[in-house]
Chain A
Amino acid sequence: MVRIEGLAKSYGSTPALRGVSFEVPRGQVVGFLGPNGAGKSTTMKILAGYLAPTSGAAYVGGIDVAADRVATRRMLGYLPENNPLYEEMMVLEFLEFVSEVRRLPKEGRSGRIKNAVERCGLTTVMGKDIGQLSKGFRQRVGLAQAILHDPDLLLLDEPTSGLDPNQIAEIRELIKQLGKEKTVILSTHILPEVQSTCGRVLIINDGKLVADDAPERLAHGEGGTVSVVLASRLGSSLEPAQVQSVLERVPGVTSVQAAQGEGAGTLGFTLRYGTEDPRRELFEAAVRSELALLEVRRQHVSLEETFRRLTAGEAAPRASDPKPQPTA
């Protein structure tokens, strides 16, 4: 449904996208994640046929967006960032206008409008000026406009920004419903949104794609960390290098990092593990080496942590994170 090849975009001399490539098959709901200014909106604007890319190409339904913007725009519905709407128009007027410029057949128009209005819960505000609506209703008008022509592809740029928790839940539910029949690309910097609605996450940072996976995999596939605090069972002092080598040999542990202990005679370590939970083996190893486990605390890598790590600026991976970055 969507294919992007080496997409780059500069505003003047400021690069916003530095060669992004990905593909989205029909029917997928994709979360497009990244900090503000990472290039999410730029990618959306290019896909929507509003901005022209500096280099690279974007295809919607197999058609190059730059070659035939009108054809690609017909296939997609777009909710731009900040949801700009004609404030002085009534909701009904506005939707009629959209149905006209989208060239919906005259007979089908009122049916399509009715359908979109019902799905987005706008029935009660049809005769109101858009400028008078609350933010939640405005957002629904933006969504109604995007789904009016029943497009195969929906591009939603931060659809829940600025909404209260109830409204966010409603919009998410609506997006979930839409995702059952359509391809959806949803940009956001709110992580739970992705976890609750998307089957796949693209993380973009500084104009580059840094991760592309299922949210569960990004969150848990990498395993997590176990923090331990150890003391000698015999009361003697511990040799940190020796203890570290013991820990490194524990099956399942991928790396060991020294951490804070709890005072004299104790040592702290942070162990990273892959898919396998190493706590049982850890216990056995500790007993064999005459070590007392004062504390064992396991933490899953959360999507949030992955996100932070991947988008923490230009800096090298954190000291506690010697693992190479995942799929770029």
Chain B
Amino acid sequence: MISLFVARRELRTFFNSPIAYIVLGGFLLVAGWMFFSTLFLGGQASLRGFFALAPVLFVVFAPAVTMRSVAEERKSGTLELLLSMPLRDWEVVVGKFLGALGMVAIGLVFTLPYAFSVAALAAPGVSFDWGSAAAGYLGLLLLASSFLSMGLWASALSRNQIVGFIIGLLLCFAFYFVDKFAVLLPESLGEVLEFLSVDYHFENIARGVLDTRDLLFYVTLTAAGLLLTSRQLAAVRQ
């Protein structure tokens, strides 16, 4: 699969730039704080507190990972080089997406020590719920996919990575925030908003309930973002 070569180059480039370490460091710092602050507040050896907060963190983290992805290549001109290679636009987009997902996955791997320490704090005789932890991580990856695909599109919109970051942030935030005032609205409308919410579906998965509707939601959102990015690349060619 040719996109994997593009993805590998993305990852390499990412870790060659200082921004990567700042973004990743910031992510781990905030994630650590989320792990342990919620832990001691709840007084329970579980990751539920962390998973409740994590989507907010990803609202910022995901667009920060994707902001350079296309914008930087447009600015430096290497996009012309890349797009004159025998690759289809969607192969480029998927490659960039997989690269970004790889970075998020690496970030998540670095949070595993937190999870292990929390598990180690479980009271004797009480078993740590590894099943729901795994479901939570899976949910985070799915949530990240949808955020990254939106961030990628945002990055493709201009040559300026800061613009890409802000648009990505707003988009991700919109999909996070959309159901937060649903209680105030009529029930039917509230349900629609809930269905659109990235957070709502994540909560379902983090609870350990793997429902195809939730999966389908993330897959659809991710695909839509990637499709928009492909179309944006086609627009850049005009």
The answer to whether A52 and B87 have CB atoms under 8 Å apart is: no
- The CA-CA distance from A128 to B77 in the complex, in Å, is 21
Q: Tell me whether A301 is interfacial, beta carbon within 8 Å.
A: no
Q: Is the beta-carbon distance between B17 and A50 smaller than 8 angstroms?
A: no
Q: Is the Cβ of B86 less than 8 Å from the Cβ of A84?
A: no
Q: How many residues of A contact B (CB 8 A)?
A: 28
| Of A80, A87, A101, the contact of B80 (CB 8 Å cutoff) | A80
- Selected from A49, A82, A93, the residue in CB contact (under 8 A) with B84 is A49
Chain B's interface size range is 20 to 34
Task: Tell me which of B4-12, B57-65, B171-179, B180-188 binds A.
Answer: B4-12
Taken together as a complex, chains A and B put the C-alpha atoms of A88 and B11 apart, in Å, by: 12
Please give, as numbers and ranges, the residues of chain A lying within 8 Å of B12 by CB-CB distance.
89, 93
Near A by CB (< 8 A), chain B positions 26-52 give: none
In angstroms, how far is the closest chain B Cβ from the Cβ of A207?
Answer: 17
Contacts A84-B77, A86-B78, A101-B6 hold; do A52 and B83 have CB atoms under 8 A apart?
no
Q: Which of A82, A93, A102 contacts B77 (CB under 8 A)? A: A82
Q: Does A85 contact B (CB under 8 A)?
A: yes
Q: Are A101 and B84 in contact (CB under 8 A)?
A: no
Which residues of chain A from 77 to 109 have any CB-CB distance to chain B below 8 Å in the complex? 78, 80, 82, 84-89, 93, 97-98, 100-103
Question: Pick the contact of A101 from B16, B87, B234, B237 — CB < 8 Å?
Answer: B87
As a 0/1 sequence over residues 59 to 74 of chain B, the CB contacts with chain A under 8 angstroms (1 = contact) are 0000000000000000
Taking CB atoms, residues of chain A closer than 8 Å to B9 are 86, 89, 97
Bound form: Cα–Cα A86–B2 in Å: 18
Count of chain A to chain B residue pairs whose CB atoms are closer than 8 Å in the complex: 66
Question: How far, in angstroms, from A82 to B77 measured CA to CA in the complex?
Answer: 8
Q: Is the CB of B86 within 8 A of A73?
A: yes
Let me know if B13 is at the binding interface, CB within 8 A.
yes
The reply on A296 being an interface residue by CB < 8 A is: no
A103 near B77 (CB under 8 angstroms)? no
Q: Which residue of chain B has its CB nearest to the CB of A51?
A: B237
What residues of chain B lie closer than 8 Å to A98, measured between beta carbons? 85
- Would A73 and B237 count as touching, CB distance under 8 A? no
Nearest A residue to B3 via CB reads A101
- With contacts A89-B13, A101-B2 taken as known, whether A80 is within 8 angstroms of B84 at the C-beta atoms is yes
**Cross-chain contact B17 with A101 (CB below 8 angstroms):** no
Query: Is B6 within 8 A of A84, CB to CB?
Result: no
**Contact between B13 and A74 (Cβ–Cβ < 8 Å)?**
no
B 212-237 contacts with A by CB, 8 A:
234, 237
Tell me, in angstroms, the Cα distance from A74 to B9 when the chains sit together. 20
Say whether A70 faces chain B, with CB atoms less than 8 Å apart. yes
A40 on interface, CB distance cutoff 8 Å:
no
Q: How far is the CB of B167 from chain A (nearest CB, A)?
A: 22
Is B238 touching A84 in the complex (CB atoms < 8 A)?
no
B80, A52: Cβ atoms under 8 Å? no
Query: Are B5 and A101 touching (Cβ within 8 A)?
Result: yes
Q: Check if A45 is an interface residue, CB within 8 A of chain B.
A: yes
Q: A86-B13, A89-B13 are in contact. Are A78 and B84 (CB under 8 A)?
A: yes
Q: When each residue 174-218 of chain B gets 1 if its CB lies under 8 Å from chain A and 0 otherwise, what string results?
A: 000000000000000000000000000000000000000000000
Q: Does B127 contact A (CB under 8 A)?
A: no
Q: Is the CB of B76 within 8 A of A87?
A: yes
How far apart are the CA atoms of A85 and B83 in the complex, in Å? 13
If A50-B84, A102-B85 are given as contacts, then 20 extra A-B residue pairs at C-beta distance below 8 Å, sorted by A number, are A49-B83, A49-B84, A51-B238, A52-B238, A69-B88, A70-B86, A80-B80, A84-B81, A85-B81, A87-B76, A88-B13, A88-B16, A89-B13, A89-B16, A97-B5, A98-B85, A102-B86, A103-B2, A103-B86, A145-B81
Interface residue ranges, A against B (CB under 8 Å): 45, 48-52, 69-71, 73-74, 78, 80, 82, 84-89, 93, 97-98, 100-103, 145
